[in-house]
A and B are shown apart, each in its own frame.
Chain A
Amino acid sequence: MKQMKVDAIKNGTVIDHISAGKGMQVAEIINISGENEVFIGVNLQSKKIGKKDIIKIENRELTSEQVNTVALIAPQATLVIIKNYEVAKKVSLKLQENIENIVVCPNPKCITNVDNIPTKFKLVGIEPTKIRCVYCERKYNVDEISIRI
Chain B
Amino acid sequence: MKNLISMRDLTKKDILQFLELAEKIEKSKIKPNLSKKLAALIFYEPSTRTQFSFATAMKKLGGQTITMRGTQSTSVQKGETFADTLKTISMYADLIIMRSAIEGSAHYASEVVDIPVINAGDGANQHPTQALLDLYSMKKTQGTLENLTIGIVGDLKFGRTVHSLVQAMSDFKPKFYFISPSFLKMPEYINEDLREKNVFFQELKDAEEKIQEMDLMYVTRIQKERFADPEDYEKVKGSYIIESAMLKGVKKKFKILHPLPRAGEISTDVDKTKYAYYFQQAKNGIYVRQAIIATLLGGTK
Interface centre among A114, A134, A138, A139 (most CB of B within 10 A): A114
Interface centre among A109, A111, A133, A139 (most CB of B within 10 A): A111
Contact A136 B108 (CB under 8 A): no
Smallest Cβ distance from B129 to chain A, in angstroms? Answer: 16
| Minimal Cβ-Cβ distance residue in B for A133 | B104
Contact (A111, B105) CB under 8 Å given A136-B123, A136-B125: yes
- Chain B interface residue count, Cβ-Cβ cutoff 8 angstroms: 20
23 A-B residue pairs with Cβ-Cβ distance under 8 Å, sorted by A, are: A109-B101, A109-B124, A110-B103, A111-B102, A111-B104, A111-B107, A111-B108, A112-B104, A114-B72, A114-B102, A114-B105, A115-B102, A117-B108, A133-B104, A135-B103, A135-B104, A135-B107, A136-B103, A136-B122, A136-B123, A137-B6, A137-B104, A139-B192
Contact A115 B189 (CB under 8 A): no
Q: Is the interface of B mostly helix, strand, loop or mixed?
A: mixed
| Minimal Cβ-Cβ distance residue in A for B188 | A139
**Interface on B for A, CB 8 Å cutoff?**
6, 8, 72, 81-83, 101-105, 107-108, 122-126, 189, 192
A-B pair count, CB < 8 Å, reads 48
Q: Is the interface of A mostly helix, strand, loop or mixed?
A: loop
Contacts of A109 in B (CB 8 A): 101-103, 123-124
Smallest Cβ distance from B214 to chain A, in angstroms? Answer: 28
| A107 interface residue (CB < 8 Å to B) | yes
Contacts of A114 in B (CB 8 A): 72, 102, 105
Contact of A111 among B6, B103, B126, B192 (CB under 8 A): B103
Contact (A134, B123) CB under 8 Å given A109-B102, A111-B102, A114-B72: no
Contact B108 A137 (CB under 8 A): no
Contacts of B192 in A (CB 8 A): 139
Contacts of B189 in A (CB 8 A): 138-139
Expressed in whole angstroms, the Cα–Cα distance for A109 and B82 within the complex equals: 15
- Contact flags (1/0) for A106-149 with B, using CB distance below 8 Å? 01011110110100000000000000011111110000000000
